[in-house]
Structure 1
Amino acid sequence: MTFSSKYKNLGKLAIVCGLATTMFACGGSADSSKKEDAKAAIAAKKEASVDFNIILNNAPDPTSIPVLLERSGAEFDASLLNSKENAKSYVLKDASSALNFGVYISDIAYLSASNKPQEAIDYFTTAKQLSDKLGITNAMGKDLSDKLETALSDKDAMLKVISEAESKVKTFLNTNSQYDIAALIVTGTTLEALHISLGLVQNAPKDLPSNVRNAVLVDLMTAVANQRKSIDAIVEILKPLEGTNNDTQKYYSEFVKLQKQFDALKFDEKLKENKGGYQLKAEDLKEITATVEKLRTATVKL
């Protein structure tokens, strides 16, 4: 979906309040004129809320890629997770809180899909520090912790709970004219899914029988190639925020760069020409991996 020029302008107008006070939070100033500006920006944003909501709903389900990774047979790799210890540094800025809340959502989904429910709950407790900072904890449901505890022995149930909670957050933020925060959350989620997928490719054991290793790598690299749709969704989500501040501009530019790198692979075209015989090789993903890892490192060190 492409924004009309009208909605591009509305998207930019909608963050005027954030630029007047903090990077992403509207209001909070004692100055009455700024409050009026904030109200006007929110009103303009609500005019485009349907479009914003549709675009947000095009974001990938945070559990879809972890499920594919688990089905590939790749061994779980805890080193690919973002450390829980980093969370305390993210609460200083809304942009960092939003991006890394998204990162932790993907980590939680990966843990759940890998049959590590207690670790997933521990990560949820960590992520809650960020959701509290962003004011979205209640949006996920006051009984979310209980639901996760109840689903401890049921991987599919846990993944469903995670997916529903993330969907509720997007709806809440859109309804409350916080499209920017929602955009950064799903950006963090998508970035982490790419990071984990590419990391599993790079870290695939070299001592496996070649037929076993190749089978795992084919599934993993195909999972990476399939994330082109996720990248497209993030570009569309960030598009209304392009040029409004350094944070959103950086992520928009880097995801556009990823689009071009995926295009250069011509994966779908090669599959069609070779009637399914073409397979991605690890070296094909070198440039994509470098882009993702540079951006992910900058994200978790914010």
Structure 2
Amino acid sequence: MTFSSQFKQLGKVALACGLATSLVACGGSSETAQKKEEAKKEIAAQKATKADFNIILNNAPEPTAIPVLLERSGAEFDATLLNKRESATSYTLTEASSALNFGVYLSDIAYLSAFGKAQEAIDYFTTAKTLSDKLGISQAMGEDLSEKLEKSLSDKEAMLKVISSSEGKVKQFLNTNSQYDVAALIVTGTTLEALHISLGLVHNAPADLPEAARDALLVDLMSSIAKQRSSIDAIVEILAPLQNGGDKAVEYAKAFKALQAEYDKLNFDEKLKDNKGGYQLKADDLKGISTIVEKLRTMTVSE
């Protein structure tokens, strides 16, 4: 039984309890009666707290939000930060890998679009479609999505709107069909890639820029990274209901909680407040965040 089919089975029990989504797996020949009973109790607990998984998913960051901030920072586009298109076929082996890396490619597409790389964005969409087909969500995005993207080639704002709209349709479709787990991993991949790209632009900032210009660029990039704290908080909340759903959910939840701790240490708000008193936050300060993000990202895209 796959990760997603387990959640579909549980969705039937959740519906009977009045909870319109799924939480943990309760089916499967290898599962004991005791574990099934524990799963039912957990559903009842979630019902008692009136968990609304659609609201939780809607708290996820827009896939286009961070790429737009990065473009406005004045940073130069860096193609080396993108995930490789040729890696896509290897992600179809497991549902979890397909979901995570579909999210990664969504961020890449948004990044390309925000920096005016329209044709490359469409090429990446073609690659990502391999994964959306695997996940059974291509139809949810709209059969005319490719056509819409092509029509928006000369208008990056229109392309970004198409991407955000399609991602929203996917989340709604998956949640409605008791596949909250897949939706959760998609937005986790999207958030992870946005962090990876942001950190990469900071570390790759041109060393030959005049100090004042480089500091100004870094302040804007640092600000975009600081704003991603809310995205990290959202992912922790999104993954919380899946703590008994599979190793992937547990592993990523643990890593994003560690990112919360690193953000707390940095105290971004105080250091970047009004950008007064000179530049106070250096790229080296991001080592803790970078270590976690790059380890997680490497694990994600290497599968």
Normalising by the smaller structure, the TM-score range is 0.7 to 0.9
- Alignment gaps of 5+ in structure 2: 22-46
User: Deviation per CA, 1:80-119, whole angstroms, max 9, x where unpaired?
Assistant: 0000011000111100000000000000000000100000
Amino acid in structure 1 at the alignment position of 2:12: K
Give the structure 1 partner of residue 184 of structure 2. Answer: 183
Q: Secondary structure at the match of 2:75?
A: coil
How is 1:235-250 mapped onto 2 (pairs within 5 angstroms)? 235-250=236-251
CA contact (8 A) 1:109 1:162 kept: yes
Aligned mates of 2:211, 2:11 — CA distance in 1: 60
Give the structure 2 partner of residue 206 of structure 1. Answer: 207
Amino acid in structure 2 at the alignment position of 1:176: N
CA contact (8 A) 1:91 1:130 kept: yes
CA contact (8 A) 1:112 1:158 kept: yes
Moved more, 274-283 or 89-98: 274-283
Shift in Å, 1:300: 0.3
How is 1:151-166 mapped onto 2 (pairs within 5 angstroms)? 151-166=152-167
CA contact (8 A) 1:271 1:277 kept: no
Q: Secondary structure at the match of 1:218?
A: helix
CA contact (8 A) 1:183 1:238 kept: yes
How is 1:1-302 mapped onto 2 (pairs within 5 angstroms)? 21-26=1-6, 39-41=12-14, 43-44=16-17, 45-46=19-20, 51-271=52-272, 279-302=280-303
Amino acid in structure 2 at the alignment position of 1:46: A
Q: Secondary structure at the match of 1:25?
A: helix
| 1:152–1:275 distance in 2 versus 1, CA, 3 Å | same
Aligned mates of 2:164, 2:277 — CA distance in 1: 32
Amino acid in structure 2 at the alignment position of 1:128: K
Amino acid in structure 1 at the alignment position of 2:283: A
Shift in Å, 1:39: 3.0
CA contact (8 A) 1:99 1:184 kept: yes
Shift in Å, 1:42: 5.5
- After superposition, the CA RMSD in angstroms is 2.0
Aligned mates of 1:237, 1:138 — CA distance in 2: 24
Aligned mates of 1:255, 1:60 — CA distance in 2: 14
CA contact (8 A) 1:232 1:259 kept: yes
Shift in Å, 1:41: 4.7
Moved more, 132-141 or 238-247: 238-247
Percent identical: 68
User: Deviation per CA, 1:40-83, whole angstroms, max 9, x where unpaired?
Assistant: 25545516697100010000000000000001111100000000
Aligned length: 275
User: Deviation per CA, 1:151-203, whole angstroms, max 9, x where unpaired?
Assistant: 00001000000000000000101111110000000000000000000000011
- Alignment gaps of 5+ in structure 1: 1-20, 29-34
| 1:301–1:43 distance in 2 versus 1, CA, 3 Å | farther
CA contact (8 A) 1:87 1:130 kept: yes
Aligned mates of 1:128, 1:274 — CA distance in 2: 42
Aligned mates of 2:16, 2:68 — CA distance in 1: 39
Give the structure 1 partner of residue 30 of structure 2. Answer: none
User: Deviation per CA, 1:197-255, whole angstroms, max 9, x where unpaired?
Assistant: 00000111111122221111111111111100000000000000114321100000000
Aligned mates of 2:273, 2:72 — CA distance in 1: 24
CA contact (8 A) 2:7 2:179 kept: no
CA contact (8 A) 1:106 1:193 kept: yes
Give the structure 1 partner of residue 32 of structure 2. Answer: none
Aligned mates of 1:193, 1:256 — CA distance in 2: 17
Shift in Å, 1:280: 2.0
Give the structure 2 partner of residue 7 of structure 1. Answer: none
User: Deviation per CA, 1:260-302, whole angstroms, max 9, x where unpaired?
Assistant: 0000111213445986756321111011001000000000012
Aligned mates of 2:154, 2:107 — CA distance in 1: 20
Q: Secondary structure at the match of 1:40?
A: helix
